[in-house]
Amino acid sequence: MASFLGSSSGLMAQTKPAASPARNVVVMRRTMAGSKGDDSPWYGPNRGLWLGPFTKVPSYLTGEFAGDYGWDTMGLSSDPETFAKYREAEIQHARWAMLGVVGCLTPEALDKFAGVSFGESVWFKAPTQIFSDQGINYLGNEGLVHAQSILAIVGCQVLLMGLIEGYRVSGGPAGEGLDLNYPGGDYFDPLGLADDPDTFAELKVKEIKNGRLAMFAMTGFFTQAAITGNGPVQNWLDHLADPANVTGFTYATKFEVGQ
């Protein structure tokens, strides 16, 4: 679901020596022209801005980071240290939101379109299964993880996430002095997706754009669950069945004071 805005992508040919010295293999790789140069649509002074030519860009937003469209009305990024903290928090929340969107949509979509059920398929109802006498089974299989104690689950999550976050911030045997947001290396980028600087710069933009969209999507999932009592897939199907009458405005106009 990566976004491609603009038409600056092209094909770049790289020549790599093959096993035989008399033969070369040409590998075609899609990249962005000048990913972090002055002509980049994503970085630097000529990047796209949120209000186009009418944008008043703060002096501290130079286009160095992916996803900088010159918007900081409240001046939250004026202090470099504060900006670094917000940047880290945004990237981490964006990654979790992308995982959350997939986790919310997949079970319900499989249940409705493929007839595959893992128990309760609606994301906000699924956790309640742990309070039943049967407990909750990972992927609907009792042989994998059969959970019956919410306290044990919370304890394990707090412990494991605490260890992982501590490892991410403080480093460990996988490498010292790694970038907190983009550690890379053999352990965190085994496929070498970020080996090429231009490709890496492009992937950063795709990640933050999709991550921001996912955070909005999760907010929508929460709101829909509270208002309609249905999952996102069912809400989508209801809208497709009656686009004119099943919208967010339909529910917004039903609220009254005291109800």
**What pLDDT is stored for residue 35 in this prediction?**
60
Mean pLDDT for the chain overall: 81
Mean pLDDT along residues 255-259: 46
- Could you read off the pLDDT of 118-141 as tens digits, one per residue? 788 999 998 888 888 878 877 767
Question: What SS3 state is found at 134?
Answer: coil
Kindly indicate the confidence band of residue 32, based on its pLDDT and cuts at 50, 70 and 90: very low
> Six-digit token pair at 124?
């906000």
**Number of helices followed by number of strands (H, E) in the chain:** 6, 4
Q: Where are the extended beta strands (E) located within 77-230?
A: 136-137, 146-147
Check: CB of residue 1 under 8 Å from CB of residue 210: yes
Q: Token match 């790599």: residue? A: 16
Q: Which residues pair with 9 in a beta bridge?
A: 32
User: Is residue 10 scored above 50 in pLDDT?
Assistant: no
Mean pLDDT along residues 66-94: 94
Check: CB of residue 94 under 8 Å from CB of residue 208: yes
Kindly indicate the confidence band of residue 178, based on its pLDDT and cuts at 50, 70 and 90: confident
- Which position has the higher pLDDT, 146 or 13? 146
- Could you read off the pLDDT of 51-76 as tens digits, one per residue? 999 999 999 999 999 999 999 999 99
- Which position has the higher pLDDT, 168 or 216? 216
User: Which of 58-72, 74-88, 175-189 bottoms out in mean pLDDT, i.e. has the lowest?
Assistant: 175-189
**What pLDDT is stored for residue 122 in this prediction?**
94
For the CA atoms of 181, 45, 76, 4, what is the dihedral angle to 10 degrees?
A: -60
Q: What is the pTM of this model?
A: 0.77
